């Protein structure tokens, strides 16, 4: 088989689309040659050879030898030189290049082919002995560390000693003679360390380097990098061998890197840096300060060092021309490497350039407007999750970070404020106009008020779907959850981090995008939602099929979600509406009531509050669909947790603390998430569901009257497993609708549907759909109940599962398509079998996750519903999955 592909001289055996076989670098070198661009001739050894090398116990197949000779002869023919021939010197570079860019891989070996004889030839060829010996010593250094596995420090030491002895500070002060002496010392050192001489045979050097590149595929750095970036081992790496060109042949030579557009702002202007008389490694090493390529960039940077444009105008013009051609050819912003050898430009690499979220938007929109790509392509060019960076204030990337701890990046954005340890403190201080960060071990529904007024939330326990994380995302507040190494002592009001103690009022910053907790205030950048962002969103909306709704219950969230383009509410969690002021008191009265009569009396107090909540939501949503879910959590969530709170609440309510304690104990459950919650509450206490239904219908009638058009509310029953459970609750809801119609003399149209969040519901969806008019997949609970993993406790061990390669993604963040997804697919299919026009949506956290959204498109859901700040992400992801 064919292991080697040549390129050079305006032709190539491979092309850009051969990336899997030739690696990114090799495929693009071939493509550039075919485009007629100046690329030093060379060849690529395929990724298949890499796999074969490992399969054969790190050995090369016999026929490879002949292919390698032929390829070397090809380079010789194009350059008019011969590898290993001191009379007609050909030196090569050897570089790795896998399918995905992998900075953890082997470094480059340059100047390969130099030895004691050829270095003399290089000196006379170039007319520069100093350059020749400097190149040789660099080669010995690089080869010894990359291929022979010696520590490069040992060479640095020799060099430093020599400089000290000779009284020189800089490498550039050393003469050809000096370098020759140092080379002698280097070779002695190699002999001493390896008990064999530095290889003089160029072919042996080449075989060694090729083997080292392949071996580097399995080095620790590469293995870890692959694991972190989901790169399969089976991809292998390619090896690129290329005729050397020298950027260090004096003042008319240079080497540099550039982007065809600015990678941080997206501005359509060539942007890059170079060094005169240098080899590639010098630019990266950062010892010398690089110069700007264009005059405009030089002026903008206020640099007094000459630009390439001024210094080498001919090479600059060719480079500008080539970079334009490459961008037009690849139809994307390119990241380029080049070398200028005695005034002649050579291209060494091109690839799509990495860029910030902001630059990605600008580049995509500009390119669509320039006609280089279509609007749909522009939509597909943006990583939906990267929008998160744009919707919130973020930490200025140039800011100093004093990190005191790290947790999960539970809700994006950054926030600074004074530490508070309770909801009450948060309210107190924020009403005095101070900005606070609420710091808790974990949060509960009682903390909602405090979370609302805080700038951000930090918890030391809990995962990505913990209460703090879900509620914070819903509110669009930055949140870092599960920062396990931080110690919160709420009683004494301290936060311990890295041996430092922080108290109430001390300033911290949290970065919900990275999970970092920082000491003090940090400079921020503000979001920008018009312009390019708006353009991409508009094009996404033209392309998508699924609707995007939001999970919201507060007016602020609902309004914000509308401003982000939400097309209705997919989940209003009514339990979140029972914690404010008077409501929690009435709620507790209801829970403490001994008789249905007393319960109804307490519920009657809650009715007007619920009604006005719903009315306002209907008004904000102005005729868009609104799904209201009946009370879901176990009732004890509304009761005080600690003895102190209990005493306080008992006094406020005018009941004995004994009674309150008894009731709290009676409501205690071993496993509340699998306990008396969801529709089970409505089965036990139908009057709660009836009150909520009444509030919904009365609000719908009133909103309809005000708006002069019918409002069609959707009432959703949670945690249904049995059709009869659903029917039991629906009958009550229908009866309430009937009474409200009679009382008001208005007709009410409404839908009653269910959450599908238990495996049994998915399996029996055809039966449930006989009475349920819509389904909303509650994939938080469905994941919890399918895996049998508590969503509140998962964080502590899921990460271990990821590290050990048992699962790739946290299933509470990105839908487990093979398992939980299968249940969603089944539920959707079965639902449609019974009721072909059944409305299908998703309202678990997955409704805002791009990969999960793609799956929702595939199974034909009608909409996804997610927290307000995820709405733009979902709009974009829904568009991409429809394109």
By CB under 6 A, name the one of 180, 477, 573, 599 that touches ligand PEP: 573
DSSP symbols for 191-233: HHHHSSPPP--HHHHHHHHHHHHHHHTTSHHHHHHHHHTT--G
CB of 764 to ligand PEP, least distance (A): 18
Nearer to ligand PEP, 413 or 844 (CB): 844
CA–CA separation, 713 and 724 (whole Å): 23
CB of 567 to ligand PEP, least distance (A): 18
Give yes or no for residue 779 binding ligand PEP (CB under 6 A): yes
CB of 867 to ligand PEP, least distance (A): 11
CA–CA separation, 264 and 327 (whole Å): 17
**CB of 682 closer than 8 Å to CB of 630:** yes
Q: Which does 516 bind (CB under 5 to 8 A by kind): ligand PEP, Mg ion, none?
A: none
Give yes or no for residue 282 binding Mg ion (CB under 5 A): no
Residue corresponding to tokens 């339990």: 575
CA–CA separation, 94 and 768 (whole Å): 65
Among 217-225, 703-711, 776-784, 793-801, the segment contacting ligand PEP (CB under 6 A): 776-784
Give yes or no for residue 844 binding ligand PEP (CB under 6 A): yes
Nearer to Mg ion, 337 or 757 (CB): 757
Nearer to Mg ion, 350 or 867 (CB): 867
**CB of 716 closer than 8 Å to CB of 754:** yes
Q: Are strands 479-481 and 408-411 parallel, antiparallel or unpaired?
A: antiparallel
Q: 134-169 as b/e, with b when 16 or more CB fall inside 10 Å?
A: bbbbbbbbbbbbbbbebeeebbeebbeebbeeeeee
| Residue 750-769 contact track with Mg ion, rule CB under 5 A, x = bound | -------x------------
Give yes or no for residue 881 binding ligand PEP (CB under 6 A): no
Nearer to ligand PEP, 309 or 632 (CB): 632
Q: Which does 844 bind (CB under 5 to 8 A by kind): ligand PEP, Mg ion, none?
A: ligand PEP
**CB of 495 closer than 8 Å to CB of 439:** yes
Nearer to ligand PEP, 41 or 625 (CB): 625
| Per-residue H/E/C for 778-792 | CHHHHHHHHHCCCCC
Among 199-207, 209-217, 287-295, 777-785, the segment contacting ligand PEP (CB under 6 A): 777-785
Nearer to ligand PEP, 118 or 627 (CB): 627
CA–CA separation, 37 and 348 (whole Å): 10
**Secondary element (H or E) of residue 178:** helix 176-194
CA–CA separation, 589 and 9 (whole Å): 86
Give yes or no for residue 632 binding ligand PEP (CB under 6 A): yes
CA–CA separation, 766 and 785 (whole Å): 20
CB of 865 to ligand PEP, least distance (A): 8
Judged by CB under 6 A, the number of residues near ligand PEP is 10
CA dist 630 → 313, 677, 694, 716, 846 (Å)? 72, 11, 11, 6, 21
CB of 866 to ligand PEP, least distance (A): 10
| Neighbour tally for 267: CB within 10 Å | 14
Establish whether 380 is a catalytic residue. no
Give yes or no for residue 141 binding ligand PEP (CB under 6 A): no
By CB under 5 A, name the one of 450, 463, 513, 778 that touches Mg ion: 778
3-class SS of residue 86: coil
CB of 226 to ligand PEP, least distance (A): 33
Give φ, ψ of 634 to 5 degrees.
Answer: -60, 145
List CB contacts of 177: < 8 A, sequence separation 6 or more: none
Give yes or no for residue 852 binding ligand PEP (CB under 6 A): no
Give yes or no for residue 843 binding ligand PEP (CB under 6 A): yes
By CB under 6 A, name the one of 18, 31, 388, 781 that touches ligand PEP: 781
Among 6-14, 174-182, 491-499, 772-780, the segment contacting ligand PEP (CB under 6 A): 772-780
Cα-only R_g, the chain? 34
Q: Which does 779 bind (CB under 5 to 8 A by kind): ligand PEP, Mg ion, none?
A: ligand PEP
Q: Which does 573 bind (CB under 5 to 8 A by kind): ligand PEP, Mg ion, none?
A: ligand PEP
Q: Which two tokens stand for residue 641?
A: 């947790």
The footprint of Mg ion on residues 327-366 (CB under 5 A) is none
CB of 781 to Mg ion, least distance (A): 4
**CB of 119 closer than 8 Å to CB of 136:** yes
By CB under 6 A, name the one of 41, 202, 413, 778 that touches ligand PEP: 778
CB of 442 to Mg ion, least distance (A): 18
Give yes or no for residue 512 binding Mg ion (CB under 5 A): no
Nearer to ligand PEP, 6 or 852 (CB): 852
Q: Which two tokens stand for residue 872?
A: 């733009």
CA–CA separation, 363 and 520 (whole Å): 35
**CB of 640 closer than 8 Å to CB of 668:** no
Nearer to ligand PEP, 436 or 820 (CB): 820
CB of 239 to ligand PEP, least distance (A): 49
Nearest to 423 by CA among 459, 453, 468: 453
Give yes or no for residue 549 binding ligand PEP (CB under 6 A): no
Give yes or no for residue 780 binding ligand PEP (CB under 6 A): yes
CB of 231 to ligand PEP, least distance (A): 32
Among 138-146, 334-342, 721-729, 773-781, the segment contacting ligand PEP (CB under 6 A): 773-781
Judged on CB neighbours under 10 Å (0-12, 13-18, 19+), 377 is middle
Q: Return the bridge partners of 390, or none.
A: none
Nearer to ligand PEP, 575 or 698 (CB): 575
CB of 412 to ligand PEP, least distance (A): 19
Nearest to 636 by CA among 595, 681, 669: 669
List CB contacts of 188: < 8 A, sequence separation 6 or more: none
Establish whether 854 is a catalytic residue. no
Nearest to 251 by CA among 172, 196, 185, 198: 172
Q: Which does 341 bind (CB under 5 to 8 A by kind): Mg ion, ligand PEP, none?
A: none
CB of 552 to ligand PEP, least distance (A): 12
CA–CA separation, 842 and 859 (whole Å): 11
Give yes or no for residue 410 binding ligand PEP (CB under 6 A): no
**What residue number has its CB nearest to Mg ion?**
781
Nearer to Mg ion, 537 or 828 (CB): 828
The catalytic residue among 33, 50, 452, 467 is: 467
Give yes or no for residue 571 binding ligand PEP (CB under 6 A): yes
Give yes or no for residue 757 binding ligand PEP (CB under 6 A): yes
CA–CA separation, 873 and 476 (whole Å): 13
The catalytic residue among 479, 572, 843, 856 is: 843
Q: 830-848 as b/e, with b when 16 or more CB fall inside 10 Å?
A: bbbeebeebbbbbbbbbbb
Among 121-129, 429-437, 478-486, 772-780, the segment contacting Mg ion (CB under 5 A): 772-780
CA–CA separation, 350 and 257 (whole Å): 10
Q: Which does 571 bind (CB under 5 to 8 A by kind): Mg ion, ligand PEP, none?
A: ligand PEP
**CB of 875 closer than 8 Å to CB of 567:** no
**CB of 692 closer than 8 Å to CB of 607:** no
CB of 498 to Mg ion, least distance (A): 37
Give yes or no for residue 781 binding Mg ion (CB under 5 A): yes
Nearer to ligand PEP, 778 or 821 (CB): 778
- Return the active site residues: 467, 843
Residues at the site binding ligand PEP, with contacts judged by CB under 6 A: 571, 573, 632, 757, 778-781, 843-844
Residues at the site binding Mg ion, with contacts judged by CB under 5 A: 757, 778, 781
């Amino acid at each position: 088989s064919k292991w080697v592909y040549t390129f050079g001289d305006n032709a190539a055996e491979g092309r850009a689309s051969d990336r899997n076989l030739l690696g990114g670098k090799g495929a693009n070198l071939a493509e550039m040659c075919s485009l007629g661009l100046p690329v030093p001739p060379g060849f690529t050894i395929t990724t298949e050879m890499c796999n074969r090398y490992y399969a054969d116990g790190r050995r090369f197949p016999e026929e490879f030898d002949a292919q390698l000779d032929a390829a070397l002869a090809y380079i010789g023919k194009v350059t008019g030189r011969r590898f290993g021939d001191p009379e007609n010197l050909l030196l090569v570079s050897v570089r790795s290049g896998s399918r995905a860019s992998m900075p953890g891989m082997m470094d480059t070996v340059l100047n390969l082919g130099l030895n004691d004889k050829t270095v003399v030839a290089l000196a006379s060829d170039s007319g520069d002995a100093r350059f020749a010996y400097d190149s040789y010593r660099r080669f010995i250094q690089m080869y010894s560390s990359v291929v022979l596995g010696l520590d490069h420090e040992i060479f640095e030491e020799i060099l430093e000693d020599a400089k000290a002895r000779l009284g020189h500070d800089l490498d550039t002060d050393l003469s050809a003679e000096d370098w020759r002496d140092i080379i002698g010392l280097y070779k002695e050192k190699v002999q001493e360390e390896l008990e064999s001489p530095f290889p003089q045979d160029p072919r042996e050097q080449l075989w060694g380097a090729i083997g080292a590149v392949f071996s580097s595929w399995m080095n620790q750095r590469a293995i870890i990098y692959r694991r972190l970036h989901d790169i399969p081992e089976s991809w292998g790496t390619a090896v690129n061998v290329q005729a050397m060109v020298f950027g260090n042949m004096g003042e008319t030579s240079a080497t540099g890197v550039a982007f065809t557009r600015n990678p941080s702002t997206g501005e359509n202007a060539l942007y890059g840096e170079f060094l005169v008389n240098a080899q590639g490694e010098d630019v990266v090493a950062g010892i010398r300060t690089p110069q700007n390529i264009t005059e405009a960039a030089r002026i903008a940077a206020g640099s007094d060092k000459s630009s390439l444009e001024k210094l080498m105008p001919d090479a600059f013009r060719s480079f500008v021309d080539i970079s334009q051609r490459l961008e037009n050819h690849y139809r994307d912003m390119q990241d380029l490497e080049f070398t200028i050898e005695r005034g002649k430009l050579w291209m060494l690499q091109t690839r799509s350039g990495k860029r910030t979220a902001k630059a990605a938007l600008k580049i995509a929109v500009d390119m669509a407007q320039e006609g280089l790509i279509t609007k749909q392509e522009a939509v597909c060019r943006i990583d939906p999750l990267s929008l998160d960076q744009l919707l919130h204030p973020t930490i200025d990337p140039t800011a100093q970070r004093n990190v005191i701890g790290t947790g999960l990046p539970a809700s994006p954005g950054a926030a600074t404020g004074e530490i508070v340890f309770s909801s009450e403190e948060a309210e107190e201080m924020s009403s005095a106009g101070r900005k606070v960060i609420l710091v808790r071990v974990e949060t509960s529904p009682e903390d909602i008020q405090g979370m609302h007024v805080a700038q951000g939330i930090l918890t030391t326990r809990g995962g990505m779907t913990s209460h703090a994380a879900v509620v914070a995302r819903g509110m669009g507040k930055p949140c870092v959850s599960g920062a396990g190494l931080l110690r919160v002592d709420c009683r004494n009001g301290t936060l311990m981090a890295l041996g430092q103690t922080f108290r109430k009022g001390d300033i911290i910053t949290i970065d919900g995008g990275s999970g970092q907790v920082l000491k003090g205030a940090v400079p921020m950048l503000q979001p920008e939602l018009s312009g390019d962002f708006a353009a991409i969103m508009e094009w996404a909306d033209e392309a998508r099929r699924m609707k995007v709704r939001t999970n919201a219950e507060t007016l602020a969230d609902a309004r914000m979600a509308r401003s982000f383009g939400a097309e209705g509410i997919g989940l209003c969690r009514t339990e979140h509406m029972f914690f404010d002021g008077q409501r929690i008191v009435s709620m507790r009265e209801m829970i403490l009531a001994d008789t249905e009569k007393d319960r109804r009396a307490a519920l009657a107090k809650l009715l007007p509050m619920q009604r006005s909540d719903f009315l306002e939501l209907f008004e904000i949503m102005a005729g868009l669909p609104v799904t209201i879910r009946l009370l879901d959590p176990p009732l004890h969530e509304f009761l005080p947790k600690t003895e102190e709170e209990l005493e306080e609440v008992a006094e406020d309510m005018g009941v004995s603390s004994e009674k309150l304690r008894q009731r709290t104990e009676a409501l205690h459950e071993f496993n509340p998430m699998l306990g008396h919650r969801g529709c089970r509450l409505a089965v036990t206490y139908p009057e709660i569901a009836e009150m909520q239904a009444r509030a919904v219908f009365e609000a719908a009638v009133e909103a309809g009257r005000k708006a002069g058009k019918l409002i069609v509310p959707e009432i959703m029953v949670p945690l249904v497993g049995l059709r009869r459970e659903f029917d039991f609750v629906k009958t009550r809801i229908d009866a309430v609708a009937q009474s409200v119609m009679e009382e008001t003399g208005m007709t009410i149209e409404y839908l009653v549907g269910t959450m599908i969040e238990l495996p049994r519901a998915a399996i029996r969806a055809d039966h449930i759909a006989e009475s349920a008019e819509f389904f909303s997949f509650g994939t938080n609970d469905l994941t919890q109940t399918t895996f049998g993993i508590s969503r509140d406790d998962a964080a502590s061990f899921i990460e271990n599962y990821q590290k050990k390669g048992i699962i790739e993604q946290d299933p509470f963040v990105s839908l487990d398509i093979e398992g939980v997804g299968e249940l969603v697919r089944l539920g959707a299919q079965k639902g449609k079998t019974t009721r072909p026009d059944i409305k299908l949506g998703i309202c678990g956290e997955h409704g805002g996750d791009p990969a999960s959204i793609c799956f929702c498109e595939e199974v034909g859901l009608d909409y996804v519903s997610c927290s307000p700040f995820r709405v733009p992400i979902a709009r974009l992801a829904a568009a991409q999955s429809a394109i």
